Structure formats: structure tokens, C-alpha cells
Amino acid sequence: MTLEPYRRVLALPGVRSLLLVALVARLPITAVGVTLTLHVVLELERGYAAAGLVGAVITIGAGLGAPVLGRLVDRVGLRPMVAVTTVVEALFWAVAAALPYPALLVASFLAGLLALPVFSVVRQSLAALVPEQQRRPAYSLDSMSVELAFMAGPVLAVFVVTTASSRTAMLAVGAAIVAAGAALFMFNPPTRSAEEEAAASAGQVPRRAWLGSRMFAVLAVCAATTLVLSGTDVAVVAVLRDAGKVEWTGAVLALWGAYSMAGGFVYGGLTRALPPPALVGLLSVLTIPIGLVAGWPWLCLALLPAGALCAPTLASTSDAVSRLVPAGARGEAMGLHTSALTVGLAAGAPLAGAAIDLAGPAWGFVAVGAVGSLLALAALPAYRRHRRAPTPQVESAALVTTP
């Protein structure tokens, strides 16, 4: 492994600025879930099930809206989409703290549909700024940025709630998201390179030109990855609670995130890497035995092999989508990528929870690891069937002049 791939990527015009804006913009996005949960529980005095429902509806809305917003970027450009979603975010967070619970549910779903899609925009822009042969380190840096945001964002939200109030936290999160939208609007990162822009100007790209079996395989891998990760999150909490060591939860999860960042750093410096189905297969298989250990120090060690594969697997899926899709449809494809990640996140926690309730904490790891392995096996044949993503020449030939 060498640092040279990272140096070359960071030397490309616009990449450093994009990654910095991405990190700052993602912090409030990662704080949304815990902020809404604490508001429903503490301010509205509802149970955790009610709080989970708010999180579920905003997640479902985001999963449904991401491809539509991506297609809007493909058709009219980034700034109109960012303007619309930033205004919606401002309206939602301005009134959300004052809404009764039923109205908050409805508003959360609508806000999810038109949520500022920072994650997919950044991945789309990286594909425009970075040549195909250099995208592995670029998306590895992006995955490490995501890990940092998820490690810091929720902690900051909890700090504001506990030192001020949940209403203050909601206003702060909303203000930060609106500021992130304004920064993206002003920065206006490219979503296509100059060559891709010239090719895409001929017309719209039909879905049949890129939405095939290999793309569905990558989307299945995306869902499998976050299913394993969200299920592992729940299972770690259950194991520590069963051992009477709940106070170590934050430290163990932070260490798990550090493993992921280290793995992503190594992955980005490799000259050759495993395909996404193989990576998620390894991630899943190595997750299954984690629950066999006893004691939180051993749990920290057991998380290392699978943890080191988290960021590489996520980076590999972003890279695969960027290679499989013509530039004229990249926004919609990255939106589908986000939707697949969202589906996995939504499915993993209840799957692990059901296994834990039925058979004990260790079975949470087994359940999500087994399902992830099956999805990886199912995706592998379709992924291997078509070796090469569409080239710019194929893209030009596939363009049509009608939507």
C-alpha cells in the first residue's frame, strides 16, 4: 500500500474543497435521527416506539425521494434541486419543534421526500471530478468522511439536548442543514466532467441503457452492507447490556468506526481490490461469530475483522455505480444507491432485534451476517456476468432525444 494514490486524488482541482464541504455538511444530517428521537421522548413525552416511527417515516421518505432528486439534477442541474430542498429543510426545522406528534409524523415524511441529498451529491460530484482509474482512493476518502460525520454528529446533538433542550437542538440542526444547503448552492460542485457534459447534451439517457442486472446486483450489495452494519449496531448494544456494561457502548462503537476508517484508508491505497459482492460477503461472514465472545474487551477485538471492511465495502459500491452508469443518468443512479443503503439500514435493526428477542444477543450478529451472505451470493453471478461498465462511446450511442 502507498499514499501516492491519495496525493494524486487530492491534487485534482476541486476534490479537497468538495471533501471538506461534504464533511461539514454531513455533520447535521447524521444528527437528525438522535435529535428527533430525543425530542419525541423528552419534549413530547412519547415512548421509544413512537420516536422510532418518526425516524422510520423520515427514512422511508428519503429513500423514495433520493432517485427523484437525482433525476432532477440530471435534467436541470444541481442548483435548482439544492434550492428546493434547502427551502423545504428550512420550513420543516422552523416548525418541527412546535408540532404535535401526529403532525410531526406527516411533516417528517414530506421532509424526507425532499431532504437535502448531501451524500449522493458528493458521490456524484466525485465521479465528475476524478478519472475512473483514480476513483477507489476518492471514494475511500469519502467513506472515511462519512465515518467521521457519524462519529461526531450524534454526539454533538446529544450534547446540545442535554445542555440546552431538544427544541434548541432541533433548531440548531435545522440551521446547520440550511447552512449546508447554502454552501452547496454557492460551491456548486460539478456533476459531470466537461467531456461528459458534451456527450450528455445530445439528450436523455434511457434507463434500459444502464439499469440492468449488474446494477441491481450492486444495489443488492448496498442494501446488504447497511443491513449488516445497522444490525451489528443493535447487536453490540444488546451484548453489552446483557453483560451489564452498557456504559461502554459509546467507546465500543467509536472503536468500531475507527476500524472502518483504517480499513477504508488501506483499501484506497490498493492497486487491486475484491469486487463489491465479495467484500460484502466477507463482511457478512466475519460478522456472524462476533457474538461468541465474552466481555467487552474481547468484543472490541472481535469487531476488528468485520469493522475493517465497512468503509471499503461502501466505497466499492459507490465506485461501481460511478463506472456502470453514463454521466447523463448518474444523479438518478446515485439516488438509487442512496435508496438501497436506506433499505438496508431500515431492515437491519429490526432483523437483529427480532433474532435477539427470540434467541439472545449473539444471534443478532448471526441473523444479519447470514442474510448479508445470502444477498452477496445472489448478487455475485449477475455482477460477474457483465465485466465492463458503459464507456462514453456507449453512452453517446444510447442517448435519445426524448425523455
Given a cut of 90, whether residue 329 has pLDDT beyond it is no
Mean pLDDT of 263-267: 93
Compute the distance between CA of residue 181 and CA of residue 373 in angstroms, rounded to an integer.
37
Assess if residue 112 is contained within a domain. yes
Determine the Cα–Cα distance for residues 268 and 130; give it in Å rounded to an integer.
14
Could you tell me which residues come within 8 angstroms of residue 120 by beta carbon, excluding any fewer than 6 positions away? 66, 69, 70, 331, 334, 335, 337, 338
pLDDT of 401 over the 50 cut: no
Crossing angle of helices 135-163/4-11, nearest 10°? Answer: 80
393 inside domain: no
pLDDT for 396: 35
Question: When comparing pLDDT for 397 and 273, which is higher?
Answer: 273
Cβ atoms 35, 173 nearer than 8 A: yes
CA distances to 39, 54, 167, 307 from 103, rounded to whole Å, are 14, 11, 16, 39
Pull the grid cell for residue 45. Answer: 413525552
Give the pLDDT score at 250: 80
Report how far apart, in Å, the C-alpha atoms of 191 and of each of 45, 77, 80, 188, 229 are: 44, 8, 13, 9, 29
pLDDT in tens, 80-131: 999 999 999 999 999 999 999 999 999 999 999 999 999 999 999 999 999 9
Domain that holds residue 145: 1-191
In a domain, 228, yes or no: yes
Cα R_g (the chain), whole angstroms: 21
Residue that wins the pLDDT comparison between 79 and 203? 79
Number of domains in the chain: 2
**Domain boundary at 136, 164, 191, which?**
191
Lowest mean pLDDT among 182-186, 193-197, 274-278, 390-394: 390-394
Query: Which of 260-274, 304-318, 367-381 has the lowest average pLDDT?
Result: 260-274
Distance of CA 160 to the CA centre of its chain: 24
Q: Which amino acid is at 248?
A: W
Same domain, 187 and 211: no
Rounded to whole angstroms, the Cα distance separating 128 from 25 reads: 19
Same structural domain, 40 and 125: yes
Q: What is the pLDDT of residue 344?
A: 92
Is residue 398, in this structure, part of any structural domain at all? Answer: no
* Rounded-to-integer distance, Cα 77 and Cα 191, Å: 8
* CATH code where residue 13 lies: 1.20.1250.20
User: Is residue 168 located within the same domain as residue 67?
Assistant: yes
Q: Are 137 and 56 in contact (CB under 8 A)?
A: no
Residue 133 CA to residue 271 CA, distance in Å, equals 10
Q: Which of 142, 122, 131 is nearest to 189 (CA)?
A: 122
**DSSP-derived secondary structure for 138-193:** HHHHHHHHHHHHHHHHHHHHHHHHHHT-HHHHHHHHHHHHHHHHHHHHHH---SS-
Average pLDDT over residues 356-378: 93
The answer to whether 41 and 162 have CB atoms below 8 angstroms apart is: no
Last residue of a domain, one of 191, 225, 258: 191
pLDDT value at 391 more than 60: no
- Shared-domain flag, residues 19 and 51: yes
Q: Tell which of 191, 223, 238 closes a domain.
A: 191
Q: What is the structure's pLDDT at 314? A: 94
Q: What is the mean pLDDT of residues 311-336?
A: 90
**175 shares a domain with 223:** no
Residues 13 and 88 in one domain: yes
179 and 308 co-located in one domain: no
pLDDT of residue 375: 95
pLDDT interval class at 204 (50, 70, 90): low
Q: How far is CA 31 from the centre of its chain?
A: 14
User: Buried (b) or exposed (e) across 358-393, using 16+ Cβ within 10 A?
Assistant: eeebbbbbbbbbbbbbebbeebbebbeeeeebbeee
Give the pLDDT mean for 60-78: 92
Q: Do 186 and 217 fall into the same domain?
A: no
For residue 401, is it within any domain?
A: no
Range with the lowest mean pLDDT among 324-338, 353-367, 385-399?
Answer: 385-399
Question: Is residue 200 a part of any domain in this protein?
Answer: no
Looking at the domain assignment, is residue 392 inside a domain? no
Residues 184 and 237 in one domain: no
Task: Specify if 1 maps to a domain.
Answer: yes
pLDDT in tens, 22-54: 999 999 999 998 899 889 988 998 887 788 889
Low-confidence winner among 211-225, 286-300, 321-335, 388-402 (lowest mean pLDDT): 388-402
pLDDT per residue as tens digits for the range 213-262: 889 999 999 999 999 999 998 899 888 888 888 778 888 888 999 999 99
Asked if 399 and 204 count as a contact pair (C-beta separation under 8 A), the reply is yes
Same domain, 158 and 302: no
The more confident residue out of 166 and 92 is: 92
At 387, is the secondary structure helix, strand, or coil? coil
- Tens of pLDDT along 56-65? 899 899 999 9
User: Which DSSP category does 270 fall into?
Assistant: -
Query: What's the rounded Cα separation, in Å, for the pair 23 and 147?
Result: 10
pLDDT above 90 (res 272): no
Q: Do 243 and 351 belong together in one domain?
A: yes
Q: Are residues 179 and 213 in the same domain?
A: no
Return d(Cα 229, Cα 143) in angstroms, integer. 14
Question: Each residue of 177-192: pLDDT tens digit?
Answer: 999 999 999 999 998 8
The whole-chain average pLDDT of the chain stands at 88
Instruction: Decide if pLDDT at 351 tops 50.
Output: yes
